[in-house]
């Protein structure tokens, strides 16, 4: 369900009647709110039907729409994980209107778990106008032996979108790309995806979300929100990654930058179990009522590993079934460490993943005034010396 406004005029069913009907028919609703004027009731229906909500701000670039539409397919019937496109890079540049000469040099990593169906997608937002000059695009493979040069002229017929798909298996390593243009655009977005390198192997993937809970403070009960990223290779946890959440918050002037929050897998605070591949953190810097949305970026390096010694539940919502020991022993629970001394570990190498986590509507009275969150529990206190 996509809307940029509210229901007007007479309708056969009220929101509550529609919600009851969808729940009774077991229909899951995914909503996309376009702008602040979108009806606040649609998130309630999505939550009641176990769906998901997304928010696209006014005047957003193609990247935010990509996030919403890609995330909305989460519940759709899909092929195997090995045939699912993984987002490994996405970035939007808002054009500097005082300098029409645009040039960018950046990179993305193709790790050992992906490489099939590598797709480079360039989207131009140009007010639905034709380009006056071609855009130069260069891709360079990790060996620097393969250089691919392309020219693209955006038009109404191609919707300002250029797609380059590699039919051969992409080389593993760091790919570079360059984009040059002398024309003025509203924004330029690059989106890179790939699939599992082998049909019998599953890629590293991440699922991002906003988790809502409640906290009592005296006689008041208010929302307690946390950002969560589940990082797995198949069904085994990926540990030691750097996970950042970018939270867009409601504001009056539209100039508030996203809140950057590093998510942790340390078994403290919002995180239940250490080293289980689930990275989370509470966020408390609210800006008032409205829609909060989150996207996650995962970066792996030479210190990032896959914990092959554990079996992980496929049920993303089941907190206590995330990881169980390969051998019977102490149960894994709050504050526990899912990494045992005899765990089998394998290095991931460099990789990046991005995922949209959806949005949440905070209403009047939901949020606390000021910082009222107590400190998190300390779980790693040790006595080093006694005298």
Contacts of 358 (CB under 8 A, 6+ apart): 52, 53, 54, 71, 208, 209, 210, 293, 294
Q: How far is CA 386 from CA 380, 381, 382, in A?
A: 17, 14, 11
Residue in the block written with tokens 């989106």:
191
Q: By mean pLDDT, which of 38-42, 120-124, 218-222 is the weakest?
A: 218-222
Q: Is the pLDDT of residue 170 over 90?
A: yes
Q: What is the dihedral of CA 24, 28, 32, 37, to 10 degrees?
A: 10
How many Å is the maximal CA-CA distance in the chain?
A: 79
CA 76, CA 146: separation in Å to the nearest integer? 37
Mean pLDDT, rounded, for 343-360:
88
Q: Is the pLDDT of residue 253 over 60?
A: no
Mean pLDDT, rounded, for 23-29:
88
Structure token pair of residue 24? 């009774």
Structure token pair of residue 326? 């390969």
In this predicted model, what pLDDT tens digit does every residue of 368-377 receive, in sequence order? Answer: 666 666 677 7
Q: Is the pLDDT of residue 198 over 80?
A: yes
In this predicted model, what pLDDT tens digit does every residue of 51-95 receive, in sequence order? Answer: 878 887 766 666 677 777 776 666 665 556 667 888 999 888 876
Structure token pair of residue 86? 């993984």
Whole-structure pTM value: 0.74
Contacts of 197 (CB under 8 A, 6+ apart): 112, 113, 114, 115, 116, 169, 172, 203
Helices of type H across the chain: 15-24, 42-48, 62-72
Structure token pair of residue 87? 């987002």
* Sheet (strand 187-196) strand order: 86-94, 187-196, 114-125, 161-165
CA 132, CA 197: separation in Å to the nearest integer? 39
The pLDDT score that the predictor gives to residue 150 is 94
CA 78, CA 97: separation in Å to the nearest integer? 42
Contacts of 10 (CB under 8 A, 6+ apart): none
**Please, which pLDDT band fits residue 320 given cuts at 50, 70 and 90?**
very low
Q: Is the pLDDT of residue 333 over 70?
A: no
Q: Is the pLDDT of residue 326 over 50?
A: no
The pLDDT score that the predictor gives to residue 94 is 76
Half-sphere exposure of 232 (CA within 13 A, CB side): 20
Residue in the block written with tokens 């591949």:
277
Contacts of 317 (CB under 8 A, 6+ apart): none
- Return mean pLDDT, the chain: 80
Mean pLDDT, rounded, for 209-237:
72
The residue that leads in pLDDT, 335 or 295, is 295
Percent of the chain with pLDDT over 90: 26
CB 306 within 8 A of CB 237: yes
**Please, which pLDDT band fits residue 31 given cuts at 50, 70 and 90?**
confident
CA 358, CA 55: separation in Å to the nearest integer? 7
The pLDDT score that the predictor gives to residue 63 is 64
**Please, which pLDDT band fits residue 313 given cuts at 50, 70 and 90?**
very low
CB 237 within 8 A of CB 338: yes
Q: Which residue in 309, 314, 82 sits closest to 201, CA to CA?
A: 82
**Please, which pLDDT band fits residue 332 given cuts at 50, 70 and 90?**
low
The pLDDT score that the predictor gives to residue 262 is 94
CA 118, CA 169: separation in Å to the nearest integer? 8
Contacts of 62 (CB under 8 A, 6+ apart): 92, 123, 125, 187, 189, 191
């Amino acid at each position: 369900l996509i809307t940029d406004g509210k229901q007007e005029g007479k309708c056969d069913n009220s929101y509550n009647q529609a919600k009851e009907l969808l729940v009774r028919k077991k229909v899951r609703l995914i909503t996309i709110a376009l702008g602040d004027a979108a009806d606040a009731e649609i998130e309630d229906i999505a939550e009641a039907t176990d769906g998901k909500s997304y928010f696209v701000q006014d005047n957003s670039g193609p990247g935010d729409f990509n996030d919403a539409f890609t995330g909305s397919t989460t519940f759709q019937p899909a092929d195997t994980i090995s045939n699912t496109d993984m987002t490994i890079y996405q970035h939007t540049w808002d054009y500097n209107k005082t300098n029409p000469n645009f040039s960018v040099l950046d990179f993305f990593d193709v790790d050992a778990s992906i490489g099939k169906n590598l797709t480079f997608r360039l989207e131009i937002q140009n007010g639905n106008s034709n380009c006056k000059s071609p855009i130069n695009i260069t891709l360079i493979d990790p060996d620097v032996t393969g250089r691919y040069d392309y020219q693209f002229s955006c038009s109404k017929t191609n919707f300002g979108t250029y797609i380059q798909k590699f039919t051969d298996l992409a080389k593993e390593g760091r790919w570079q790309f360059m984009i040059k243009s002398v024309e003025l655009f509203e924004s330029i977005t690059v989106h890179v995806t790939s699939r599992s390198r082998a049909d019998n192997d599953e890629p590293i993937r991440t699922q991002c979300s906003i988790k809502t809970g409640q906290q009592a403070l005296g006689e008041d009960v208010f929302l307690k929100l946390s950002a969560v990223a589940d990082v797995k290779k198949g069904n085994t946890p990926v540990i030691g990654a750097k996970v950042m959440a970018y939270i867009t918050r409601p504001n009056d002037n539209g100039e508030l930058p996203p809140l950057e929050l590093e998510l942790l897998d340390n078994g403290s605070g919002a995180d239940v179990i250490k080293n289980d591949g689930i990275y989370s953190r509470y966020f408390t810097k609210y800006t008032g009522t409205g829609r909060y949305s989150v996207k996650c970026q995962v970066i792996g390096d030479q210190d990032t590993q896959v914990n092959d010694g554990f079996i992980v539940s496929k049920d993303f919502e089941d907190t206590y079934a995330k990881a169980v020991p390969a051998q019977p022993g102490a149960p894994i629970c709050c504050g526990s460490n899912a990494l045992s001394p005899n765990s089998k570990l394998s290095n991931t190498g460099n990789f990046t993943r991005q995922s949209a986590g959806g949005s949440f509507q905070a209403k009047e009275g939901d949020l606390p005034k000021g910082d009222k969150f107590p400190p998190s529990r300390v779980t790693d206190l040790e006595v080093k010396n006694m005298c």
